[in-house]
Structures are given as C-alpha cells and as structure tokens.
Structure 1
Amino acid sequence: MAETSREQVRRATLEGLKAGQICKGVVSAIEPFGAFVDIGGLDGLVSVAELTWTHVEAVSDIVEIGQEVTVVVLDVDLDRERCALSLKALHADPLPEFARTQLGCVVIGRVEKLVKIGAFVRVNEHCVGLVPWPDLAGRTTDPSESAVQVGDEVAVEVVAINLVKRRILLSLRP
C-alpha cells in the first residue's frame, strides 16, 4: 500500500513538471555521470555537464548527498518516467563576458594541469584555457620537461576564444 502511494506521488510530481521550471530539492545520490536530486519524491538527474560552467573532475566536488539545491527542469520524459535537471542553468555563462573583457589581454593565471598538448591555466574562477606545448619554453611535448609546473602563477595572453566549443587559447608571456 505504501509503495503504491509513493509511486502515485512520484508520478504526480513528474506530470506536474514543465521545462524551465525552477524547483528545490535534495541531492539523493552521486554517480560518476551526475547527481540525482529528489524533488517531491521524484529523483531527477543533473548530468555532469549540467552541474557547473567549469570543468568537473568529480561530481562530489560540486554537490554532496543531503545538500539542498535549486535546479531548473530541462526536460520531462513521461514515457520513461525521467526528468533532466540543471544547476548551471541558474547562472549566466561566464565565457561570453570573459571574451568581451579579456580577449587580447595579458592576465595572471595558475597552472592546473599538464597534458601532452600543453598546460591548462585557470585565468579566473570560471575559466580555464590552454597554453599549447609549442608556446611553452623548451619546445617539448614531455610534461616533465615543461617550463611551468602545476601550481605556478603565470602571465598569459588571451589569444583566442571559441564560444561554441567553449575553448580559450592562451600564450605564455615572459
């Protein structure tokens, strides 16, 4: 009997949701692909891509089980009894503003990661760009021989920004 009642509440919540609606909920589970949020007896999914505008290493870096959150309903699938939610939709995309104000400028950033193609540098709270290896001192593709290391503060020029692919190209400055 209780299971039937719970299912009725869940179905009623699902049927009452509309895309664009803002809801409050509680994070009920964390998975590598996203977080489930309980909104009135229904667990909706906030995929990794919808957690934040910045790159996510681990879902648990953004939310934790039991945390109260406000989400935007992206999609409701009555046939599959699922709903897609977003945390980032509540905030404006920071990249267009960064592009308007910083393109062509030299900024100070912190090296976050060294990879085969270059160094990722955080240039503000929301934006990370790439300094390609050919632009780094030493002209090497070996991260262990890089002129910069993770944690270093560096001056970089914001050379290009691709708003569609959400990529920032940086150049190391002396």
Structure 2
Amino acid sequence: MENASPLQDVRTAYPELWAFLSGLRPGEILTGTVSAIERFGVFVALDDGPEHPVFPGVGFITYPELSWRDFEAATDVVQIGQRVSCEFLQFDTWNGEARLSLRAMQPDPFRQFTDRIMVGRRLTGRVTKLLPFGAFVEVADGIQGLVHLSELSPVPMTVPEEVVQVGDQVVVVVTDIDNVRRRLTLSLRQT
C-alpha cells in the first residue's frame, strides 16, 4: 500500500498505544530514558508509556527540540540511557509516537538575553561567520546577531570581508529584536 504508515492503522492495531498517546495533553511533562539516537532525532522510552511496536521508544524528539543552543551532534546534548524530562508537544498519529521537546524544559537563552537589552544598546562581540549579505556577530554565549551588508560601513561595499574578518572583535548597536523569530539585528555602521 503506497504512502502507508509504518504502523498501518495505529488505532485498531495497537489500541493500548493509541489510548496512551491520545490521552496526553500539550504541555504535559513526561519522563523517560533516551533509547536511541538517529540522524533524524532521538527516541525516548517513556516511563508510563507502552512499548512501541516498531520504534525503540514511544517518545520522539526532533533535533530542533533538543536544545536552544547550536550543537554538532545529538550526543552533544543527550546520551543513550540518559534520563530526561520533556514537554509533550503533539501526538504524531502517522508514526504512533509522542513528539517531545527537551529544550522546552530550559529557559530560552535568547529571550533571557533580549529581556536585558534594548534597541540602541551598544554591545561588544566577535565575528563568527561571513556571508554575501552580511556578518554574524556573537554578542553573548550562544547569542548571535546579523549585521547586514548595508550596516557594516557608511561606505557602500560588495562583500563583508572589505570591513571585517571572522574572529574580529567589534562594537555593534542593536537595531532590532525579534523574539518570535529569535533574531537580533545589529549595526556596525551606527557605532
């Protein structure tokens, strides 16, 4: 059968699993043990959940939901056998699993940082990445903002390398804070 779920019909084939998952509510805190780490996410064997008929756990955490911070590999955040507490996000009826968030259990460092600053504030940071449209500057541990090409210098330029290099320490001004999209816009030109 084309486009069939790996579990076909979870509701009828696995009524205990369906009853457990459909009884969960968004925001509920679930505990369990990391049972497998894959290239597409992390499986969690939930303490109160039934066995999953296909996967190594009823709970599943996608990579973006592991941590607020950037990381190279899931093992930078969790290890197999580690106990975790996660927030339930939704019931994935296709795969018959609980979608979870580990990062929801921690305060958002971006939000904590932006709660302490405002537009117009000067910050010191380090240039971390150059792209054709601008430069990223780390202004606090794990907090980066974009200096658009037009904000790098009062003189027009074609590439950021004309003004800054990766590793340079710079003073920037905060020009915009977008907490919803978690974006910090900076200017070097306005300093």
Same fold (TM over 0.5): yes
Return the match for 1:19 from 22, 26, 29: 26
Structure 2 gaps, min length 5: 1-13, 52-56
- Cα separation, 2, equivalents of 1:59 and 1:150: 26
Q: Deviations over 1:68-116 (max 9, x none)?
A: 3221111124564111000111123344443342122111222222222
Cα deviation, residue 161, structure 1: 0.8
2:187 pairs with 155, 171, 174, which one? 171
1:76 aligns with 2:91: yes
The TM-score with structure 1 as length reference comes to: 0.74
1:30 corresponds to which of 37, 52, 56: 37
Residue number among 110, 116, 125 corresponding to 2:126 in the alignment: 110
Percent of aligned positions that are identical: 43
Structure with greater helix share of residues: 1
CA deviation string 1:34-78 (max 9, x = no partner): 322222343322122222234455434333333332211111245
Which of 134, 139, 149 is the aligned partner of 2:150? 134
Structure 2 counterpart of 1:159, from 175, 179, 184: 175
**1:99 aligned residue (100, 105, 114):** 114
Task: Provide the TM-score with structure 2 as the length reference.
Answer: 0.69
Cα distance change on mapping 1:36 and 1:163 into 2, 3 Å: same
Give, in angstroms, the shift of residue 12 of structure 1: 7.0
Deviation at 1:24, TM superposition (A): 2.4
Number of residue pairs matched by the alignment: 167
Which residue, out of 102, 107, 110, partners 1:87? 102
The DSSP-based 3-state class of the residue aligned with 1:101 is: coil
Distance in 1 (alpha carbons) for counterparts of 2:156 and 2:66? 36
Taking structure 1 as reference, are residues 34 and 79 closer, same or farther at Cα in structure 2, changes over 3 Å only?
closer
Give unmatched runs, 5+ long, in structure 1: 1-6
Kindly indicate which of the two structures has a greater share of residues assigned to strand: 1
The structure-2 alpha-carbon separation of the partners of 1:156 and 1:33, relative to structure 1 and needing over 3 Å to count, comes to farther
Instruction: Indicate yes or no: 2:80 matched with 1:65.
Output: yes
| Deviation (angstroms), 1:27 | 2.5
Larger CA deviation: 47-56 vs 128-137: 47-56
